Amino acid sequence: MNQNLHKSPVAFVTGASSGFGLRTSLALAREGYQVVASMRNVQNKGGLETAAQEAGVIDRLEVISLDVTDFFAVEMVIQDVINRYGQIDVLVNNAGFAAGGFTEELDIEEWQQQFQTNFFGLVAVTKAVLPSMRERRNGKIINISSISGRIGFPSMGPYVASKFAVEGFSESLRLEMLPYGVYVVLIEPGSYKTDIWSKSIGRVTISPHSAYAKEMNAVLKYANRVAETAPPPDEVIRKIVEVAKSPAPDLRYPVGRGVKLTIALKNRLPWKWWERMVIKQFHKEKRS
């Protein structure tokens, strides 16, 4: 394309093969964005391309391969997109997965893999777009966090820690980039029906001899129930689009049933009250 400024705003979405990433790519394309939808394995692009065809937005969608943990590739891919389209107006950092288990039984490598994708990959993609956004004094960086970025839950240490890291990074980066007209935003969803639940449950293995076997089974029972009853993520996608189009979005957007209340309770209740509530719920699952 080799043009200085693309006629439509350009959005770059990571982790676009399913879940929030797939739906966000479609929604932004419907809003008139030229969407570059990246995914680790482009063999998984079928669902996105079929949905884009049905929605009549296939001409505003480009699917590309990107593993966010390959930092050299990240630089090359982002620079190529900027060279071809002239800019990236909106970056949606969505790529990620959830690793779980009790800390005593998790290998350090599992923690490293979780941070490599959910945190360092996000930082690498963000760094790659910053020079262009800063020079143009315009841009939105939308980081998909989670209620787990505000509240710790038992047996979810790696995922929670990675999302807490994303929250702290986003706060710092927002303060760095605001003087340059670049807005950093956190979307903090609760539980929604996406592939992350089934994929995460599939990653958890429980040894029958584990000291935490009962607790882990209670967690999996809860996760399965959530996966069955969680609503589709329509309101999350609407919020991402709203942020992308807003001239001056806020830093944080908690989204979902009970999310704001839960965060408020955690922040305002004495910690001992809060931990008693969480542990009581946890033991209730073990007995059910």
Instruction: Please report, as a single letter, which amino acid is at residue 283.
Output: H
Tokens of 195: 């592939």
Written as one string, the DSSP assignment of 5-32 is S-SS-EEEESSTTSHHHHHHHHHHHHTT
* Cα–Cα distance measured from residue 111 to residue 122, given in angstroms and rounded to the nearest whole number: 16
What SS3 string covers 194-257?
CHHHHHHHHHCCCCCCCCCHHHHHHHHHHHHHHHHHCCCCHHHHHHHHHHHHCCCCCCEEEECC
* Cα–Cα distance measured from residue 219 to residue 233, given in angstroms and rounded to the nearest whole number: 22
Instruction: Please report, as a single letter, which amino acid is at residue 151.
Output: I
* Cα–Cα distance measured from residue 39 to residue 159, given in angstroms and rounded to the nearest whole number: 20
| Nearest Cα to Cα of residue 47 among 29, 67, 21 | 21
* Cα–Cα distance measured from residue 72 to residue 2, given in angstroms and rounded to the nearest whole number: 23
* Cα–Cα distance measured from residue 179 to residue 102, given in angstroms and rounded to the nearest whole number: 42
* Cα–Cα distance measured from residue 208 to residue 248, given in angstroms and rounded to the nearest whole number: 52
Place of tokens 């997965």: 97
Catalytic residues: 159
